[in-house]
Amino acid sequence: MSSNKRAPWGALLIALACVAYAQTLRTGDFFQDDQAIIAENPVLRRGWRAAPELFRTGYWEAVHGDFAPVQEYRPLLMLSFLLQVMTTGFRPQPMHAVNLLLHILACLLLWEALRSRMEPAGAWLGALIYALLPIHTEAVSALTGRSEVLSTALMLGSWLCLEETARSSRLAAGLALFSGALLTKESSVVFPVFLALSDWTFHGATPLEPGRRRLQAWLWACVAATLALRWAVLPRVIHGGIPYFPGRLAASLTLPGFALRRYLWPSLAGTGLCSDLSRPLIPDAPLSSPWAWLSLAAVLAAFGSAAYFLIRRRVWAFWLLGPCLFLLPTSHLIFPLDTIGAERFLYAPTIGLAAGWGHLYAWLKGSRRMALALCALALPGWYLLATLQRNKAWSSRVSHYEAAVACNPKSAKSRSALGASLLAKGRLEEGTAHLFEAIRLDPRHSQAYYNLGKLSWERREAAAAERHLRKALELDPKAVDAWVLLALVLESQGRMEEGFDCLQRAVAIYPSHAYGHYNLGRHYLMRGRPGKAAAHFSRFLELASDDPDAPATAALIQRLRGGL
């Protein structure tokens, strides 16, 4: 198909992808990881001079300091957010627009990759289905889901470049794109294996052949360089937080059933989607569970047969095994994680699903089974409707957590987040009820107590606020926001020294807490130490330059320094 003939089909693909995700362009809230990683990230507030710091700071360390429970390194992803903050500010709508553009780019690159591997109509249909899959809503609609979309687009570009490496410019471009993917999402580390399987399946080339051996050496050198960077920057090179599973056996029995119910079926059907897969929704499978053993046997049989036929260069085996490689880093088989999984993890693996639909359409068409072919063409329509419906859950903070509670009503985390969101909207009775339900579900959920303490403080109920905040800190001594709010509560009761101690603890735990510095500045001002006060106020301005109190604080700093 010539480029002139492809243009209308490309425009249609782009238009349908825009229709599917247009609703996200109106989202005005930051929530889930977007709130911490973007809205509250102090590094992003330091302007262009923060760009080098992004390469010296872990993904979560910038937000939680050295106490970050998960060790990840994604400087290119964070650089993309910094570029947006410096051009369009802390507005989520332009960031969602870039997420959509990157998703469209990934779909177009996939179309290009499929065109050389199947007949043209099937390749286009596969790319269209990939653009509309409802399972992709978390990756595209969540701003921090950009890690999945951007890394996948970079890997697809690298795949296209490195199929032919006779020209040094293609090799350089492919290696650069792969390096970018490594600096965006950790799962990109398996791309060299994916490429080797692709070489074998479609070209009969092995990694031991001279040209491909040299390429593989370059790819693994990029991996080694990225690991060296992680070693230099992160406290721990690989650390996924508190393990979800108590051991390998529990993981091996639970994950196959989880994959079939929560990954495979929602990917195929476009229903049963859920953004909160935490306990107790997915409990550990007991040794006595027939479903667990049957699921394990089914998964082993599927991948075992695919591996057998991949040796014989069967294309279907590659599309099953190759993309699923990108699930390995989050499968608990290599190292433990603090979450069983997430729908956004399927963004790269579902390349195989899209290719499968494309091959199925080509087979139906070639077999003159036009009725079945028409049914296959109806599939994108179903996926489009399902994606439009699913994106309603990502349209606002309240709608998101309502959907999360609906799919996982036993999740204390989602209950607490929904309660806080409702309180922020003035729906006090509903919000309070959800917070108490979160505590009933998990009496050790610190955030629910913090939110109750915040509500009590806003109601000028100092005693109740102190009680809730101290309970929150008993459960989580590193809850910085609780320390800062407790300081204000104690100050209102005239207990200035206790409040000052709370603020010092907060800033010691997290040195980049803007309001901790602001309130320490007030305390030092009251103590007659203008120099220390000015230093903390200056730090506040650096961390929260867009705060409504920033202009008055800047003027106060000038007066304080003028009096020194």
Whether residue 184 is found in the same domain as residue 57 = yes
Please give the structure tokens belonging to residue 145.
Answer: 């889901």
Asked if residue 156 and residue 18 are part of one domain, the reply reads yes
Which residues does residue 239 pair with via DSSP β-bridges, in sequence order?
71
HEC secondary structure over 504-561: HHHHHHCCCCHHHHHHHHHHHHHCCCHHHHHHHHHHHHHHCCCCCCHHHHHHHHHHHH
C-alpha triplet 17, 21, 25: angle, nearest 5° = 130
With respect to residue 105, please indicate whether it lies within any of the assigned structural domains: yes
CA neighbor of 457 nearest in space, from 435, 502, 487: 487
- pLDDT band for 368, please (50, 70, 90 cuts): low
Gap between the Cα atoms of 539 and 48, Å rounded: 17
Contact 239, 193 (CB under 8 A): no
177-201 tens-digit pLDDT: 999 999 999 999 999 999 999 999 9
Whether residues 363 and 511 fall in one domain = no
In a domain, 307, yes or no: no
> Before 443, cis peptide (omega within 30)?
no
Annotate 495-509 with three-state secondary structure: CHHHHHHHHHHHHHH
Burial 444-458, CB ≥16 within 10 A → b, else e: ebbbbbbbbbbbbbe
Residue that terminates a domain, selected from 363, 391, 419: 391
Token pair, residue 68, equals 């970050």
Average pLDDT over residues 91-99: 96
Whether residue 167 is contained in a domain is answered as yes
Q: What is the rounded average pLDDT of the residues 270-274?
A: 94
Q: Residue 4's pLDDT band (boundaries 50, 70, 90)?
A: low
Task: Tell me, yes or no, whether 379 and 484 share the same domain.
Answer: no
Per the structure, the complete domain to which residue 533 belongs is given by 433-562
* 273/252 Cα distance (integer angstroms): 23
- Asked if 352 and 491 sit in the same domain, the reply is no
**526 and 384 inside one domain:** no
What pLDDT was estimated at residue 375?
65
Helical ranges in 325-395 per DSSP H = 351-366, 370-390
pLDDT at position 367, please?
64
Tell me the percentage of the chain whose pLDDT exceeds 70: 96
Same domain, 381 and 457: no
493-509 confidence digits (pLDDT tens): 999 999 999 999 999 98
pLDDT at 3 over 70: no
The answer to whether residue 190 is domain-embedded is: yes
Which residues 6+ apart lie within 8 Å of 497 measured at CB? none
Whether pLDDT at 153 is above 80 = yes
Structure tokens at 282: 């997915």
Which residues contact residue 166 at a Cβ distance below 8 angstroms, ignoring those fewer than 6 apart?
none
User: Do 369 and 483 belong together in one domain?
Assistant: no
Q: Is 240 helix (H, G, I), strand (E, B) or coil?
A: strand
537 domain-assigned: yes
Identify the CA nearest to 525 among candidates 500, 550, 498: 500
Token output for 210: 């001279």
Q: How many domains does the chain have?
A: 2
Say yes or no: 384 and 526 in one domain. no
What angle do helix axes 412-424 and 397-407 make, rounded to 10 degrees?
150
On average, the pLDDT of the chain sits at 92
Indicate if the alpha-carbon torsion angle 492, 498, 503, 505 is positive or negative.
Answer: negative
- Comparison of pLDDT for 496 and 336, the residue scoring more: 496
Mean pLDDT on 97-111: 98
Give the Cβ contact number of residue 487 at 10 Å. 27
Cα separation, 475 vs 371, whole angstroms = 61
- Give pTM, 2 decimals: 0.94
Mean pLDDT of 375-395: 91
pLDDT given for residue 81 in this prediction: 96
pLDDT in tens, 291-329: 999 999 999 999 999 999 999 999 999 999 999 999 999
Q: Are residues 29 and 175 in the same domain?
A: yes
Q: How far does Cα 222 stand from its chain's mean position?
A: 23
370 pLDDT above the threshold of 80: no
Instruction: Give the span between the Cα atoms of 557 and 239, in whole angstroms.
Output: 41
* Highest mean pLDDT: which range of 156-170, 323-337, 408-422: 408-422
Q: Shortest CA distance to 527 belongs to which of 557, 505, 553, 497? A: 497
Same domain assignment for residues 386 and 529: no
100 and 168 belong to one structural domain: yes
Report CA-CA distances (Å) from 417 to 91, 344, 432, 510. 21, 20, 11, 22
The pLDDT assigned to 5 comes to 76
Q: For a pLDDT cut of 90, what percent of the chain falls above it? A: 74
Residue 138 lies in a domain: yes
Name the amino acid, one letter, at 59.
Y
Which residues, including other chains, have CB under 8 Å from residue 535's CB and lie 6 or more apart?
521
Once rounded to an integer, what is the mean pLDDT over residues 467-473? Answer: 97
* CATH, residue 453: 1.25.40.10
Residue closest to 488 by CA, chosen among 511, 457, 517, 534: 457
> Is residue 3, in this structure, part of any structural domain at all?
no
Task: Residue 453: name the closest of 444, 445, 463, 443 by CA.
Answer: 463
- Residue 431 tokens, joined: 């919000």
Q: Would residue 286 count as lying in a domain?
A: no
Q: How confident is the model at residue 103 (pLDDT cuts 50, 70, 90)?
A: very high
